[in-house]
Amino acid sequence: MVAPVIVLLGVFHYFPTLGNVIAFQDYSPYVGIRGSDFVGFANFSRLFSEVAFWKALANTLSITAFQLVFFFPIPIGLALLLNSVLSTRLRTFIQGVVYLPHFFSWVLVVSLFQQMIGGAGLLAQTLREHGHSAVDLMTKPDTFIVLVTAQAVWKDAGWGMIVFLAALSTINPALYEAAAADGANRWRRLWHITLPGLRPVIVLLLILRLGDALTVGFEQFILQRSAVGGGAAEVLDTYVYYQGLLAGDFGYGAAAGLFKGLVGLVLVLVANKFAHLIGEQGVYSRS
Amino acid sequence: MTGSPGGSTSRRTFISLLGAGAAVAAGGTTLAGCSGDGKKSSTGGHAETEDKLTGLLPKYIAYESVKPDLPGENGASPGFTKYPSELKRGVPDKAVKSGKEVSAMTPLWAPLPPGLGNNSYFDANNERIGAPVRFNILSGNDYGDKLGPLLASGNVPELLCVPGWNISGLTRFGQAVDKLFEDLTPYLAGDKASAYPMLANLPTRAWAYGVWNSQLKAVPFPSDGFPWALFYRKDIFDQVGAAPPKTADELFALGKQLTDAKRNRWAFGGISDEVQRAFGVPSGWRKDADGKLVNKIETPEFEEATAFVRRVFQSGYVHPTVVGNNAVDQKPLFEGGQIVVRQDGLGAWTESLQRQMAINPKFDMQIVSPFAHDGGTPIVWSGDPAGIFTFVKKGLGKDRIAELLGVLNYTAAPFGTEENQLYNYGVEGKHYIRQPSGAPKLTALGQKEVASTYIFLGGRPLAITQSEYPGYVQAMSKWQNEAVKVREKNLFEGIRVEQPAKMAALAQPFDDKLQDIYRGRRPVSDLKVAIQEWRKNGGDEGRDFYAKVLSDNGR
Amino acid sequence: MTTQTLSTPRRLARQRAQTEAGRPVWEEQPSWFGRLSKPVVLALVALLVTFPLYVVVVTSLSTTEAVTRAGGLVVVPRELTIAAYVQLLSGGVVTRALLISTGITLIGTAFSLGLTVLAAYGLSRPGSLLHRPLLFVVLLTFLFGPGIIPSYLVVNALGLIDSYGSLILPTAISAFNLIVMRSFFMGIPGELIDSARIDGAGEFAVLSRIVLPLSKAVVAVVGLFYAVGYWNAFFNAMLYINDNNKWPLQMVLRTYIVQAQVLPTGAGGVTSGSGMGLAPAPSLAIKMAIVVIAVVPVLVIYPFIQRHFTKGVIIGAVKG
């Protein structure tokens, strides 16, 4: 049953992924992998020797950590909230629109935020009309992490909610009825029935998110780079882009990709182990 | 966290988008032209010189279809204040005698037209060419993404258009050129070009840029080489009684005069490159008194310009949306009057006119004459004399190559020829009609079928022709003739230098610091630190490379 | 058995919904705080999403004049026009691409979903052959990806350039979707499957009669993810499809996005319109109309997905 998937992944994923060997080469696409010279770890040492690389890495990790706390739980909360809405019509309506910003490009999302809270946006212009000095919430390096998280939440929380709605539907409603009969109030029912029911999915998505820990977005950061400066907006992907990919340095890009994958793999394995310790399956079980 | 099969596509899209427009939008600094090439190592860099290439280049044979009313001198484009009533036939014979279909790949910045077989505009042109040209069209913003894999696989069409700005993302492009594309020297060098009169009519400076690895490899698309100009809204200037600036102080004073945040109006969009130019910053390198190369960012003028731009930002004269978003499209803001003065490429002028003439009769966009910060003699930056290149696939045989060059000869027909009219607008009466001004106007069928496809094959001499916009041809011609007089002397004139990859990586870290200074996050004095870092991380190495290019060419 | 699994939970759900205001009889009245805060939060969420959506729709319906006056996105509607949609959808080019995209999305989603269900089920039964290493193989694809050039060379070597297969096969399997689906399958009580086995059901029978009916929600969600992916994908088409007649919708729409853009310096001041006397709809309206077109199919199919988020599927089965 698994065979077709393995074949497809083998041909279209693993085979070309072998091409990442160019991370150890001074690669030219026109002479190919066989014709390019091997340079050992030169691409990696170029990556790791720059202070700016470590700054970008630190930025990336703090954004990931921040978003794990302030973004990750929101789709869960949203799913719970909607699930508790009794009016079918209202629930259907909100469910039916809340995921739509997922389909907006980052260019559009940033423009929309600008139109609302930017220096010439609705907020600023309203303040000006009333004789106050205008604030521009989009050019502050100190709060940039909050801004990008707010944008990410707005764009993707509704879409992320859908998986949790599906998970909620697998919880046995009779459990609630029985618990209520035993005198458990709504918070206790949430804690003892709903959350345990969602836990496998939550743990799974958390682990997968950790696998992507070094990816926090690209376009979003490039678009707002000059507004807050490279100090706040440089993340790993933008760094690699400007230092290598922009000039077509594929070996350097592949080295960065391998580094990201390895870090992700370590995080996934550690998190998976941890999941086992708290009695969860994680991505894959112990045996 | 969604898991769509599309993968990380959005990133690639954006990369290409940046490649095309970001420098324009951000008003940032661009350190030098192209990068890439290098035969052996990736940090090599490469240069081709016009001086040494005279034996390779086609002999220039002028072909005049119509006499310009406003001649362009010293490299300015000729201006035509009316559309000619009679068109001249430039290419009497069919180019493709065999009638065999021609495959071509070009970028397009317009909606995809109906394909071969459903498109009478294609049919009309192909009839004149002698064979169907089958275009693989790709959205211009995606073009660079496809070129890499295409060149790596060798899967190229007979005619391939390669925009110069995409070459910087293709390391070792020189290798690809060697491997995949035909050497055109035996077909075009010297007097041989006379077999293709339209190609022989292309400027020699442009041809020099079609040389790779000491072989004539591509047909160039000539460019006027003006990277920027400063545009302003004359209608708004008149309202508030403002006049175009002649000094930096006047420019700054305009900031105060024009900015009215409560009424949603700011004086400036992106202007930093134009400010640098006004302060006399060179576009790339210049030689100091000892003959040592100095990069633009190392000049005292650059520091003055930076301090000036910072003052403009700090005073709140720049539109906040431009301050806050790198990729914002400033044109709607300018056309809507929220921005009054901004820099853009010359092509922006007719584009805005086309959009606004119909709906806002008061809309009056004008160009600021080049000025120097102190009111003295200004300079104008000079860019490359060719920006887009068409290559011919290698190994197709002598006869076929000659046929394909014939196609490029057809698409090189200049303003005032039947061919030019046909590949730009289609058939008169069918795809377009003539307005009272003589300007072609597309019919409904024309709007559906006509697309900028043939014009991205090869190139043709530039001309200022859009006389349907009153005063435009005169104003543009005047500006260009003024500008060429003060065009900076480019040390590398006639040398196509491909920037070493290491220097390309220096651009963004420096620009970050510059933007920080503009926006008040760093003091102007930090510029010195930024320049030091730039030197240390490869700027000095780059200087040696460019110095060697000059000495190799005996300059 | 099958029919009961299907009908019982719905009947139960419907019975439960018979109480006053839809509240189950056993559920207590919410506190005043809950009664007050919930509508506020919901209203806020709805507003945060619908207002920008409204801006997008209004802008897509705006004239050049309105876009110019607003200097960008339009908030206050004035003289509305459907010019952008007319320009996008008229002419044979877009309609043909629309058909192609619909076909790719339907076939691709069925293909991806089918294989994903099979693999997720195969990997969800503990003790099945090699399931841990195979799962690891899938997981690794989530972490390490191939570059564009090697992928292109593989597709080229397989002769898939200019074939619709190149739009489906390379991205047919999403590790994320597969792992999520497997996790849901793992949640199905083992005794259900064991009892079916005792009744003599084979693997495919267990999958089709027990697992799938109990997993409609996740199958619907994963199907949605795949479908949305195929519908909005353009990158593979950009790389692998040279023939413009075979382009899917998103590729064609991308050529509308770039119109009226000035080319980078060096192009000799060529603009896309090139003074052809064209008066296109404002490019911003076109861009917003393209956003709307990307969203509409999802709006249409989402209610069908949502229908499967009914509560209590599993308990019904156990009782049945």
Q: Which residues of C touch B441 (CB under 8 A)?
A: 277
pLDDT of residue A181: 84
Question: What DSSP designation does B106 have?
Answer: E
Q: CB–CB of B505 and A128 under 8 A?
A: no
Residue A62 belongs to a domain: yes
- pLDDT tens per residue, range A38-64: 999 999 999 999 899 999 999 999 999
Quick one: average pLDDT of B427-446? Answer: 90
Among A19, A200, A283, the residue with its CB nearest the CB of C139 is: A283
Chain A residues closer than 8 Å to C49 by CB: 97-98, 100-101, 158
Say if the Cβ atoms of B516 and A230 lie within 8 Å.
Answer: yes
Query: Which domains does chain C show, CATH number per domain?
Result: 2-9+34-260+280-319 (1.10.3720.10)
Q: What are phi and psi of B153, to 5 degrees?
A: -85, -15
**pLDDT of the residue at C5:** 40
Run of H or E residues at B215: strand B215-216
CATH number at residue A199: 1.10.3720.10
Task: Inform me whether the pLDDT recorded for B37 exceeds 60.
Answer: no
A104 touches chain B (CB under 8 A): no
**Across chain B, what does the average pLDDT equal?**
87
pLDDT at B23: 29
CB contact under 8 A, B139 and C258: yes
Q: Which residues of A touch B314 (CB under 8 A)?
A: none
Distance CA A148, CA A224 (A): 9
Distance CA B344, CA B321 (A): 17
Under the banding of pLDDT at 50, 70 and 90, the label for residue A173 is confident
Q: Quick one: average pLDDT of C211-229?
A: 93
C291 shares contact with chain A (CB less than 8 Å): yes
pLDDT computed for residue C274 by the predictor: 38
Is CATH 3.40.50.300 correct for B46-225+384-485?
A: no
- What is the distance in angstroms between the Cα of B444 and the nearest Cα belonging to chain A? 32
Q: Look over chain C and give the mean of its residue pLDDT values, rounded to a whole number.
A: 80
Mean pLDDT of B60-80: 92
| Residues 6+ positions from C16 with CB-CB distance below 8 Å | A173, C24
Asked whether the predicted pLDDT for residue C16 surpasses 80, the reply is no
Q: What is the pLDDT of residue B2?
A: 34
Does position B307 have pLDDT exceeding 60, yes or no? Answer: yes
Helix (H) or strand (E) holding B218: strand B218-222
Instruction: Name the domain count of chain A.
Output: 1
Measured CA to CA, the distance from residue C243 to residue C247 in angstroms comes to 7
Q: Looking at residue B50, what is its pLDDT?
A: 61
Provide the Cα torsion B314, B315, B321, B327; round to 10°: -50
For every residue of A35-58, DSSP letters joined together read HSEE-TTHHHHHHHT-HHHHHHHH
CB contact (8 A) between residue A4 and residue C118: yes
Q: What percent of chain A clears pLDDT 70, i.e. is strictly above it? A: 99
The pTM score is: 0.87
* Tokens read off for A216: 């926090």
* A3, part of any domain: no
Q: Is residue A268 part of a domain?
A: no
Percentage with pLDDT > 90 across chain B: 65
* B303 band by pLDDT with thresholds 50, 70 and 90: very high
A166 in a domain, yes or no?
yes
| Letter string b/e over residues B252-270, b meaning 16 or more CB atoms within 10 A of that residue's CB | bebbebbbebeebbbbbbb
Q: Which of C259 and C169 is assigned the larger pLDDT?
A: C169
Predicted confidence (pLDDT) per residue in B359-391, tens digit? 888 999 999 999 999 999 999 998 888 989 999
The secondary structure of B114-180 as a DSSP string is: P-TTS-HHHHHHHHHHTS-EEEEEEETTTHHHHHHHHHHHT---SEEEEEHHHHTTSTTHHHHHHHH
The CA–CA distances, whole Å, from B62 to B55, B84, B131, B205 equal 19, 19, 28, 14
Range of the domain at A184: 53-107+156-249
Confidence of residue C131 (pLDDT cuts 50, 70, 90): confident
Domain ranges of chain B: 46-225+384-485, 227-282+294-381, 501-555
Does A105 sit within 8 Å of B10, measured CB to CB?
Answer: yes
Average pLDDT of the segment spanning B395-422: 96
Is pLDDT larger for residue C74 or for residue C58?
C58
Give the pLDDT score at C2. 36
With a cut of 50, say whether residue B31 has pLDDT above it.
no
Angle between the B300-314 and B248-258 helix axes, to the nearest 10 degrees?
Answer: 10
Residues B243-290: tens digit of each pLDDT? 999 999 999 999 999 999 989 999 999 999 999 999 999 999 999 999
Quick check: is A286 in a domain? no
C243 touches A at CB < 8 Å: no
- C-contacting residues of A 48-77, CB under 8 Å? none
The domain defined by B227-282+294-381 carries CATH number 3.40.50.1360? no
Handedness of CA B243, B244, B247, B252 (dihedral sign): positive
Mean pLDDT of chain A: 90
Residues B247 and B253: beta-carbon distance below 8 Å: no
Q: Which residue of C has its CA nearest to B114?
A: C93
Number of H helices and E strands in chain C, helices first, is 17, 0
pLDDT at C15: 47
Portion 176-205 of C in contact with A at CB < 8 A: 176, 178-180, 183-184, 186-187, 203
Average pLDDT of span A113-120: 86
Give the tens place of pLDDT for each residue, B462-490.
999 999 899 999 999 999 999 999 999 88
CA A239 – CA A191 distance, rounded (Å): 43
CB contact under 8 Å between B321 and A246, yes or no, is no
pLDDT, residue B238, reads 97
pLDDT class of C127 with cuts at 50, 70, 90: low
Assign C86 a pLDDT band (cuts: 50, 70, 90).
confident
> A36 near A28, Cβ under 8 Å?
yes
Dihedral sign (CA C167, C171, C177, C181) = positive
For B:262-281, CB contacts with C below 8 A are 264
pLDDT at C132: 83
Phi, psi of B35 (to 5 degrees): -145, 180
Asked if residue A84 is part of any domain, the answer here is: yes
Give pLDDT tens digits for B120-133. 999 999 999 999 99
How close is the nearest chain B Cα to the Cα of C170, in Å? 9
What is the C-alpha separation between C277 and B447, in angstroms, rounded? Answer: 9
Whole-number pLDDT of residue B30: 29
Per the CB < 8 A criterion, the answer to whether A220 and A204 are in contact is no
Question: Tell me, what's the pLDDT at B441?
Answer: 87
* ipTM for this prediction: 0.90
Instruction: Please give the pLDDT value at position B51.
Output: 60
Decide if A256 is inside a domain.
no
